Amino acid sequence: MRIGYVGKVGAYAYEIASELKGKDDELVEFSNVKDAIVGIEQEKVDRCIASIENSVNGNSADTVDAILQSESVYIIDEIEKRINNVLMAKARDIRIAKICATQQVLEQCREYLNENYFGTEKVAVASISDAASLASKESSIACIGNLCCKDVYGLEVIKDGIQDDSNIISRYVVLSKHRNSRDTKKTALVFSAKNEPGALYKILGLFSMANVNLTRIESIPPKVEGGEYTFLIVIDADEKQKEIVELFKMVKEFCNEFRILGSY
């Protein structure tokens, strides 16, 4: 099996893909989620790992948009990853002149950095992997990344768990060209309500009357002026359940667009 991941070697998506990798499986890197979607559609990979939500920064718009633009790629699993930011360098006892990390990670570690490295230069880079690569090449540079980078880039841990909030969770989805055949617990779907009074209210009311729990709902702004808002929701149910199939039939009556993104 060929497993893709969005990002570079050492990124969290790479770490998850490595954990899923079997003895004879191959990992394939994609620089962005749009390329990953094309790779799945063209069967260059069997599945791919991509970030979809962070408990601090919200959803990954690029991932959501890319999935919506494809009609043949589905979410087949969701993986939660607790963020653990680690300060690393080529050696533990170096004099750190510069600390590299993504802007998001620098913000997640603001209190620790202010307390311990207030006067040290902080440099925002594009990815965790870029930060680790710089640290591996220059003895005065430290980086902040996930522990996976330690072995990949030959770094030493200076301090583990330096994030200000120990409960930061990132969610990743596993994407595939084939729907799930196994029993699942959640279903993600998107819809746009008809332009008539109470349409959205009626749609949400149908889920309530069917006693179906909505674990997530968010609006996606239109790409063009005057376009329709799309709503992304996740429910606690398998799309294959008979009562859910019937529920979706009723929901579609109030929708201009309705699409199941996958059950997992």
Residue 20 shares a structural domain with residue 65: yes
pLDDT at position 215, please? 93
In order, the DSSP letters of the chain are -EEEEES-TTSHHHHHHHHH--TT-EEEEESSHHHHHHHHHTTS-SEEEEEEEETTTEE-HHHHHHHHH-SS-EEEEEEEEE---EEEESSTT----EEEE-HHHHHHTHHHHHHH-TTSEEEE-S-HHHHHHHHHH-TTEEEEE-THHHHHHT-EEEES---S-TT-EEEEEEEESS---S--S-EEEEEEE-SSTTHHHHHHHHHHHTT--EEEEEEE--SSTT---EEEEEESS-TTSHHHHHHHHHHHTTEEEEEEEEE-
Query: Are 60 and 52 a contacting pair, CB within 8 Å?
Result: yes
Residue 39 shares a structural domain with residue 62: yes
pLDDT at position 85, please? 96
Residue 154 shares a structural domain with residue 191: no
Does 42 fall in a domain?
A: yes
Of 224, 262, 81, 250, residue with least CA distance to 163: 81
What pLDDT digit, counting tens, does each position of 21-59 carry? 999 999 999 999 999 999 999 999 999 999 987 655 545
How confident is residue 193, by pLDDT bands cut at 50, 70 and 90?
very high
Does 164 fall in a domain?
A: no
Q: How many CB atoms lie within 10 A of CB 4?
A: 25
Does 65 fall in a domain?
A: yes
Q: Is the pLDDT of residue 227 over 80?
A: no
pLDDT at position 62, please? 80
Q: Tokens for 120?
A: 């040290």
Domain that holds residue 253: 187-263
pLDDT at position 168, please? 86
pLDDT at position 65, please? 86
Domain count, the chain: 3
Residue 97 shares a structural domain with residue 77: no
Residue with the bigger pLDDT between 227 and 3: it is 3
Read off the CATH number of the domain in which 212 is found: 3.30.70.260
Q: Give the rounded percent of residues in the chain with a pLDDT score beyond 70.
A: 96
| Mean pLDDT for the stretch of residues 231-240 | 95
What pLDDT digit, counting tens, does each position of 53-110 carry? 765 554 567 888 899 889 899 999 999 999 999 999 999 988 999 999 999 999 999 9
pLDDT at position 190, please? 94
| Mean pLDDT for the stretch of residues 136-159 | 96
Angle between helices 61-69 and 33-41 (to 10 degrees): 30
What pLDDT digit, counting tens, does each position of 115-132 carry? 999 999 999 999 999 999
pLDDT at position 59, please? 52
**Distance, CA of 72 to CA of 132 (rounded, Å):** 35
| Residue 156 DSSP class | E
Residue 59 shares a structural domain with residue 90: no
Read off the CATH number of the domain in which 108 is found: 3.40.190.10
pLDDT at position 84, please? 94
Does 56 fall in a domain?
A: yes
What pLDDT digit, counting tens, does each position of 207-224 carry? 999 999 999 998 888 777
Q: Is the pLDDT of residue 10 over 70?
A: yes
**How many Cα neighbours within 13 Å face the side chain of 72?**
10
How confident is residue 225, by pLDDT bands cut at 50, 70 and 90?
low
